[in-house]
Amino acid sequence: MLMCFAGPIIANCLLGESIVAPFRNNRDILLATAVWYIINYMPWDLAYRASKFVPVHTVICLMKELQRARKISDGVAFAYKLNPRAYLVVLAIGVVKGSGYLEMKLFERLVRGLWLPASNECLKPCFTTKASCLIAAAFLLEKLGRLPCSHDGAFLAAVLSLFCFKLASKLLHIHDPFRPFESVFCTVLLGGLVDAIRRAAESSPATAAVPATGKTSGGQQQHQQQKDVSDGTANGLARDKEQKKND
């Protein structure tokens, strides 16, 4: 239940609302309980196997993305109604509504007796959190009248974007389309280019010294081999001369 209603619980906690409000809807509680029971306790795991069948799993994932877009839209609208000038609060509520279960994982593991503080969504956000943040920003701009489209158009664009990202993740194994843009942003604006130039400048003298050292060692080795050959030839001639003298 913590994972199913994570978004509303965290959002209500941030807004000063009742954190038990999501559990007032008995229909949602019964639906979540029924799904949990069927998935875990159906004979021969038929429901679980059916949900993992690729076409069925794809449809479930697309329905989940549709629900995510609706939750982000509702969260942005509710937070904007309470705090019309607090844009950061509006964005935070939209992100929590769309990916609250990822933020709830830390507390959920603690309830199960598993403490993994390094595995934190705030420290290492996944694609779902980034997409929720982007879509929440789009809905906020639509509320401010900065987007040349209606709310229905923005909602349709958000749903189609989530559908495309999910299909790319399932079919093409592209799990984070934002990573190339993040690399360019970090390189240009967060000192990545300067650090790369400094590392290249620091490693160039050492790299230049390695071939010279290798050349000197190679010359000494060749000279030593030539000396050993000369000594062996001289010793061989001396033995031949002594053998002739004995004969």
pLDDT tens string 11-41: 888 888 888 888 888 998 999 999 999 999 9
Classified as helix, coil or strand, 117 is coil
- Give a yes or no: residue 184 inside a domain: yes
Residue 199 pLDDT > 50, yes or no?
A: yes
Number of C-beta neighbours around residue 22 at 10 A: 19
Q: Is 37 helix (H, G, I), strand (E, B) or coil?
A: helix
For the record, the structure tokens of 217 come out as 């060692």
Within a domain: residue 31? Answer: no
pLDDT at site 2:
83
Angle 118-184-208 (CA atoms, 0-180°, nearest 5)? 95
Distance between CA atoms of residues 61 and 162, nearest Å: 10
With 70 as the cut, is the pLDDT of residue 203 above it?
yes
Q: Which residue has the higher pLDDT, 227 or 106?
A: 106
Is pLDDT of 231 > 80? Answer: no
Residue 77 above 60 pLDDT?
Answer: yes
Residue 63 has pLDDT above 60, yes or no: yes
150, 134 contact by CB (below 8 A): no
Query: Around Cβ 159, how many Cβ atoms within 10 Å?
Result: 18
* Residue 69: pLDDT over 80: yes
Identify whether 222 is part of a domain: no
Does residue 66 fall inside a structural domain? yes
Closest CA to 101 of 76, 71, 60: 71
pLDDT at 93: 93
Residue with more model confidence, 170 or 243 = 170
pLDDT (0 to 100) of residue 181: 85
pLDDT at 215: 44
> Over 50: is that where the pLDDT of 214 sits?
no
pLDDT in tens, 39-61: 999 888 899 999 888 888 888 88
How confident is the model at residue 171, as a pLDDT?
Answer: 78
Average pLDDT, integer, range 180-206 = 80
> What sign for the dihedral angle of Cα 54, 56, 59, 63?
negative
Q: Tokens standing for 227?
A: 């000396």
221 part of a folded domain: no
Is residue 19 included in any domain, yes or no?
no
Domain that holds residue 67: 54-190
**Complete DSSP assignment for 181-205:** HHHHHHHHHSSHHHHHHHHHHHHHH
DSSP class of residue 85? T
> How much helix, strand and coil, in percent to the nearest 5, is found in the chain?
80, 0, 20
Backbone φ/ψ region at 113: left (φ over 0), alpha (ψ -120 to 50), beta: left
What pLDDT sits at residue 151?
A: 86
What is the total count of domains within the chain?
1
Task: Please say if the pLDDT value at position 192 is more than 80.
Answer: no
Q: Looking at the predicted structure, is the pLDDT value of residue 104 above 90?
A: no
In a domain, 98, yes or no: yes
In a 13 Å sphere around the CA of 206, the CA atoms on its Cβ side amount to 5
Residue 3 in any domain: the answer is no
